[in-house]
Amino acid sequence: MSKIAIEFGIDQALEALGIQNINNGTSTGTENFSSGEIIESYSPVDGALIGKVKTTSKGDYEKVMVTATEAFKIWRAKPAPQRGEIVRQFGNRLRELKAPLGKLVSYEMGKSYQEGLGEVQEMIDICDFAVGLSRQLHGLTMHSERPGHRMYEQYHSLGVVGIISAFNFPVAVWSWNTALAWICGDVCVWKPSEKTPLCGVACQNIAAEVFKANGLPEGISCLINGDYKVGEFMTQDGRIPLVSATGSIRMGKIVAQAVAARLGKSLLELGGNNAIIVTPNADIKMTVIGAVFGAVGTAGQRCTSTRRLIIHESIYDQVKDAIVAAYEQLRIGNPLDENNHVGPLIDTDAVAMYKAALEKVVAEGGKLIVAGGVLGGEGYESGCYVKPAIAEAENHFEIVQHETFAPVLYLLKYSGEVENAIAIQNGVVQGLSSAIMTNNLREAERFLSVAGSDCGIANVNIGTSGAEIGGAFGGEKETGGGRESGSDAWKIYMRRQTNTINYTTELPLAQGIKFDL
């Protein structure tokens, strides 16, 4: 273990999370039976090897699915409020382990320790939400056109839910899906990112502990590890009625096609190319705070990260100067040190993508006003630390049209009315998160109107990142159209059934049809 890991207690965190053997492997609880190859997890913080897990072979996967499908028969039969009690216990265990799990998230993924703690808090929050939801899985009643008949809708458990999550939120997004799926009576098979496998093992250990303490089968929560080939086991498996996948647009299109080919359901949370519109009526101080955090938080590796800042020409220079001045104050370094604002990118491949984006924007005619660059030397030995960069650009640039998963912010200028800015914002294929900074009520309402933002999330006077679990999370267009977390997102994890009951001694037909025998 590295000096940084020792100094910040990573060994103790791993031990608290039940990760004592670095060869944890595939698990459907505490049992390890994987026969696949080894994935080594290196921290982007210092380049040190944290641990190893075994990938899931096809044979391993079949064992997992047998375990999960058998567990489903038991779990679905429990009343939803009883399932809620189990989720409540899981949330309480997360409260107890918040510090070590947050530390592991920070060290394995590279986000700041405060963001790691915040991610675990999201897990706790969604558990609280799900516990309340366990008594509110409401259907509808409606009037029948036939005398002596009653009609209503009800929701039933769906089955095995497959979850494919990304490295940038290695635990929270899993919990958004899992907590709701569990409440709905489903069981889950989870493939975490191969870049953050130990976070998956930690969560599985916590869940397995809770289920075991309650005498419940381990297959309610299952873990598989590996790359896209392991994910294909789920996308092509007719025993999994719903696959929830978070990742790139490219990945999402592959998943959607595979699942649709077998007429399954997919819940997709894909790329974002999020913008903040800054009108002449904006509070500049609030704008700077929202834009800077949105652009550099998690080193620009959030699907809701701010990629574009669309500024009215009358205040363009003022906003630009304020943003550049704020970037000069950023501290880049070990994310476990709470004095730092920005940690590393996930790996050197991400660094190469960052460098290519900066070269591309200049080649297309843009101008770097905060040059960026890769950091080296003491404290940056992993090769994953970069300087957040800012470029003046045009929305039609090819590089601006694509999501760069790194701290690169593009400044775009608009003139005239707010509708012109909205057109620029909507002029990309992604449709996840959006924001407007204005104190003008009419501008705000135009932004939120049917002719306004085309994104799944539209904010006024807050940035593009930092969604609350109470609202449904997701986006439109090539972001995938999925919705997770709050509101009525639970419905996708269940199957809807319409019921009609005839309590008469006759059998009248609908629409007045006569069929006498």
Dump the DSSP string for 441-478: HHHHHHHHSTTS--SSEEEESS-SS---TTSEE--EET
What are the pLDDT tens digits along the chain (517 aa)?
687 877 789 999 999 999 975 444 433 333 445 778 999 999 999 999 999 999 999 999 999 999 999 999 999 999 999 999 999 999 999 999 999 999 999 999 999 999 999 999 999 999 999 999 999 999 999 999 999 999 999 999 999 999 999 999 999 999 999 999 999 999 999 999 999 999 999 999 999 999 999 999 999 999 999 999 999 999 999 999 999 999 999 999 999 999 999 999 999 999 999 999 999 999 999 999 999 999 999 999 999 999 999 999 999 999 999 999 999 999 999 999 999 999 999 999 999 999 999 999 999 999 999 999 999 999 999 999 999 999 999 999 999 999 999 999 999 999 999 999 999 999 999 999 999 999 999 999 999 999 999 999 999 999 999 889 999 999 999 999 999 999 999 999 999 999 999 999 999 887 878 877 7
What pLDDT is attached to residue 33? Answer: 53
Rounded to the nearest angstrom, the gap between the alpha carbon of residue 362 and the centroid of all alpha carbons in its chain is: 31
User: What is the radius of gyration, based on Cα positions, of the chain?
Assistant: 24
Q: Do residues 440 and 487 lie in contact, with contact meaning Cβ atoms separated by under 8 Å?
A: no
What pLDDT is attached to residue 24? Answer: 40
For 3-270+480-496, give the CATH class.
alpha beta
Give the residue numbers annotated as catalytic, written as ranges.
Answer: 269
Sorted by where each begins, the domain ranges of the chain are 3-270+480-496, 274-469
CA atoms within 13 A on the CB side of 300: 29
At which residue do the structure tokens 């025993």 appear?
239
Determine the 3-state secondary structure of 223 from DSSP: strand
At which residue do the structure tokens 């974002």 appear?
272
What pLDDT is attached to residue 304? Answer: 98
Q: Do residues 120 and 175 lie in contact, with contact meaning Cβ atoms separated by under 8 Å?
A: no
At which residue do the structure tokens 């053997």 appear?
21
Q: Render 230-255 in DSSP notation, one character per residue.
A: HHHHHHT-TT-SEEEEES-HHHHHHH
pLDDT in tens, 450-481: 999 999 999 999 999 988 999 999 999 999 99
What pLDDT is attached to residue 1? Answer: 65
Rounded to the nearest angstrom, the gap between the alpha carbon of residue 63 and the centroid of all alpha carbons in its chain is: 27
What pLDDT is attached to residue 292? Answer: 98
pLDDT in tens, 344-356: 999 999 999 999 9
Determine the 3-state secondary structure of 395 from DSSP: coil
For 274-469, give the CATH class.
alpha beta
pLDDT in tens, 312-362: 999 999 999 999 999 999 999 999 999 999 999 999 999 999 999 999 999
Distant-in-sequence, close-in-space partners of 423: CB < 8 Å, separation ≥ 6: none
Q: How far apart are CA 280 and CA 313, in angstroms?
A: 9
Q: Output the six-digit token pair for 383.
A: 């090769």
At which residue do the structure tokens 């944290």 appear?
50
Q: What value does the mean pLDDT of the chain take? A: 95
Q: Which of 122, 226, 238, 216 is nearest to 178 (CA)?
A: 122
What pLDDT is attached to residue 20? Answer: 75
Query: pLDDT above 90 covers what percent of the chain?
Result: 92
Q: How far apart are CA 185 and CA 87, in angstroms?
A: 11
